């Protein structure tokens, strides 16, 4: 430490006296300027008498014969800057009335009086270097801790990775077993549900047919004006809407044709042969038209056939069986009936058919009860099969969810362990964390090895400034630059990208962010992970001393 103080005092107390050599020449290049010999241009292009050096006339193409004047446009003037850092300035700045060298040697013939500031600059730089050395030393200690913690965490994660791989195998076995059980349980379930659905469709079809027969019976009763149980040509002929060829005229011949060439038909013949021809044209009397609500007939409907399946019921409206009178009558032609039959018909109420008729006179029921529009619940046996299959599906879904969770953890862990987190894993502590910086307009958030986003302080959506890409120039820059690309596309421009420059610091913090060119961002970030180990032979401030080798 005493040596450092001595050197510092020596430098600070030294005057800014120019070492005897041609003006504007550095000490290291002094041997090239030997006044006892001709001067050879440093590019080797020509030799000139030494008295032409610094004669304010440019003789050498590379400008090296005029290191102390502004004669050569491509020349450079060397500032010794004793007590601070030596530097080279462009020759055009020599004697321009502005002191560019802190030792004022560049303005030797301009008449400008400048104050030598090298001592103050050297002191400030010395303090800065000492502070930087202190920060670097503390940062390096933190870096060592980060490396140790990273190494331990990596070992723990390697063990966790193996555990997750084993767990995944176990879950795959469970999923396979439960999937097989589910598929086996779904076979009888599917068959039972299909059977139930088919029975429901059959039931609906039966109800539909029953309603159709009731409509047909209503139409038959309305057409049978005299209530004799027969619909005649003359009775049909009065319904002009039954004009089958739609020529505007309903003829008697057309009426005969509708009745199958017979003069009359009974109820069975009407349902079997006539109704299908006229149902789309027939106009019911008021209150009985298709789609209108009508009362349930007072006459008792026919008995419902027994359901052989035992799983569905007809409900409030029974299914009418096939016409029982079909075997008791001829093909429906009413001609040649005995007069006795006509007399018997007169003895019955015209609201019902006699005992020999197929069905009573009824009105259609067109509004279905609520329970008739929904499929009835499954029977106990079918529901039991469904419950077993549902449980199998739920169990499989739960196990698959657990396996997906394991797979997600496994994927994340494999990704982390595959990343280049520094030579000794010193950057591992950054993974999974985010760091923010706020400017007057935006909030910038960088999540190392993941993404960088920008969000307006006033609110709004985030804009991606890039996703993790790579380290830039690993060999030369020692993990000092991170590249993020494939961000949100600019309007009529490229996708946004960001270059993050890392520097040594005690803390991990984003220090600056700029947009040097459109859609390309640059950020600076301090981290102890970049601090280097101080050389053992160095003391704080040695960097400053080495910068003054000319002393």
Q: Which of 431, 430, 434, 471 is nearest to 443 (CA)?
A: 434
CA distance 156 to 171: 22
In this structure, are residues 68 and 54 in contact, taking their beta carbons and an 8 Å threshold? yes
- Report pLDDT for 297: 38
DSSP-assigned letters across all residues of 316-381: SSPPP-S-GGGGTS-SSB-TT--HHHHHHHHTS-TTS--TTSSS-------SPPHHHHSPPPPPHH
Residue burial 128-145, b: 16+ Cβ < 10 Å; e: rest: ebbeebebbeebbebbee
**Phi and psi at residue 323, in whole multiples of 5°?**
-60, 120
CA distance 192 to 205: 20
| Longest Cα separation, the chain | 164
* From-to residues of CATH 2.70.130.10 in the chain: 428-546
CA distance 342 to 140: 122
In this structure, are residues 378 and 193 in contact, taking their beta carbons and an 8 Å threshold? yes
429-482 pLDDT tens trace: 999 999 999 999 999 999 999 999 999 988 889 999 999 999 987 666 678 999
Bridge-based pairing state of the strands 39-40 and 442-447: unpaired
CA distance 70 to 77: 9
In this structure, are residues 235 and 225 in contact, taking their beta carbons and an 8 Å threshold? yes
If you ran DSSP here, which 8-state letter would residue 201 be given?
H
DSSP-assigned letters across all residues of 140-194: HHHHHHHHHHHHHHHHHHHHHHHHHHHHHHHHHHHHHHHHHHHHHHHHHHHHHHH
In this structure, are residues 223 and 236 in contact, taking their beta carbons and an 8 Å threshold? yes
If you ran DSSP here, which 8-state letter would residue 89 be given?
E
- Report pLDDT for 474: 67
- Report pLDDT for 20: 66
- Sign of CA pseudo-dihedral 11, 15, 18, 20: negative
**Phi and psi at residue 491, in whole multiples of 5°?**
-65, 120
- Report pLDDT for 412: 92
Quick one: 160 exposed, middle or buried, by C-beta within 10 A (0-12, 13-18, 19+)?
middle
CA distance 271 to 362: 14
**Residue 430 contacts by C-beta under 8 Å, 6 or more apart in sequence?**
421, 448, 449, 508, 527, 529
- Sign of CA pseudo-dihedral 368, 374, 379, 380: negative
84-135 pLDDT tens trace: 989 999 999 999 999 999 999 999 988 898 899 999 998 888 888 888 788 8
Which portions of the chain are predicted below pLDDT 50?
Answer: 1-19, 289-311, 313-367, 537-551
Residue 427, classed as helix, strand or coil, is coil
**Phi and psi at residue 464, in whole multiples of 5°?**
-75, 125
CA distance 214 to 222: 12
CA 200 from centre of chain: 44
Q: Which fold has domain 428-546?
A: Cation-dependent Mannose-6-phosphate Receptor; Chain A (2.70.130)
Residue 525, classed as helix, strand or coil, is strand
Report the predicted TM-score, pTM, of the whole model to 2 decimal places: 0.53
């Amino acid at each position: 430490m005493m040596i450092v103080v001595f050197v510092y005092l020596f430098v600070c107390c030294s005057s800014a006296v120019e070492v005897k050599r041609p003006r504007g020449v550095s000490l290291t290049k002094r041997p090239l300027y030997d006044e006892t010999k001709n001067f050879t241009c440093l590019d080797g292009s020509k030799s000139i008498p030494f008295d032409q050096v610094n004669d304010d006339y440019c003789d050498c193409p590379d400008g090296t014969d005029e290191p102390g004047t502004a004669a050569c446009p491509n020349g450079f003037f060397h500032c010794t800057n004793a007590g601070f850092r030596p530097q080279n300035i462009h020759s055009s700045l020599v004697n321009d009335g502005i002191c560019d060298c802190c030792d004022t040697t560049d303005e030797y013939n301009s008449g400008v009086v400048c104050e030598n500031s090298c001592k103050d600059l050297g002191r400030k730089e010395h303090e800065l270097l000492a502070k930087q050395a202190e920060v670097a030393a503390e940062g390096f200690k933190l870096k060592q801790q980060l490396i140790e913690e990273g190494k331990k965490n990596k070992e723990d994660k390697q063990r966790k990775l193996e555990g997750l791989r084993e767990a995944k195998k176990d879950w795959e076995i469970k999923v396979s077993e439960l999937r097989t059980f589910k598929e086996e349980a779904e076979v009888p379930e599917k068959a039972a549900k299909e059977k139930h659905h088919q029975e429901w469709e059959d039931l609906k079809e039966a109800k539909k047919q029953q309603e159709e027969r009731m409509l047909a019976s209503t139409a038959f009763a309305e057409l049978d004006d005299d209530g004799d149980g027969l619909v005649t040509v003359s009775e049909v002929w009065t319904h002009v809407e039954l004009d089958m060829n739609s020529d505007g005229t309903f003829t008697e011949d057309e009426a005969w044709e509708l009745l199958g060439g017979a003069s009359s038909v009974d109820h069975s013949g009407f349902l079997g042969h006539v109704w299908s021809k006229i149902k789309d044209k027939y106009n019911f009397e008021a209150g009985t038209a298709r789609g209108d609500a009508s009362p349930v007939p007072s006459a008792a409907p026919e008995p419902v056939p027994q359901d052989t399946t035992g799983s569905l019921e007809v409900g409030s409206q029974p299914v009418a069986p096939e016409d029982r009178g079909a075997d008791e009558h001829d093909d429906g032609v009413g001609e040649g009936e005995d007069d006795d039959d006509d007399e018997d018909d007169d003895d019955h109420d015209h609201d019902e058919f006699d005992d020999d008729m197929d069905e009573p006179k009824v009105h259609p029921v067109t509004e279905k009860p609520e329970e008739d529009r929904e499929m009835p619940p499954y029977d106990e046996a079918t529901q039991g099969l469904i419950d077993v299959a549902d449980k199998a599906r739920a169990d499989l879904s739960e196990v698959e969810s657990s396996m997906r969770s394991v797979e997600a953890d496994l994927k994340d862990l494999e990704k982390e362990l595959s990343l280049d987190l520094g030579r000794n894993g010193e950057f591992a502590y950054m993974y999974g964390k985010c760091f923010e910086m706020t400017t007057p307009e935006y909030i910038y958030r960088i999540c190392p090895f993941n993404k960088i986003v920008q969000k307006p302080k006033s609110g709004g959506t985030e804009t991606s400034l890039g996703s993790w890409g790579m380290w830039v120039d690993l060999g030369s820059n020692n993990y000092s630059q991170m590249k993020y690309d494939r961000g949100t596309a600019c309007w009529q421009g490229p996708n946004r990208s960001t270059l993050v420059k890392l520097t040594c610091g005690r803390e991990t913090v984003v220090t600056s962010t700029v947009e040097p060119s459109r859609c390309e961002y640059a950020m600076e970030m301090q981290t102890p992970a970049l601090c280097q180990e101080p050389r053992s032979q160095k003391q704080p401030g040695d960097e400053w001393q080495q910068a003054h080798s000319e002393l």
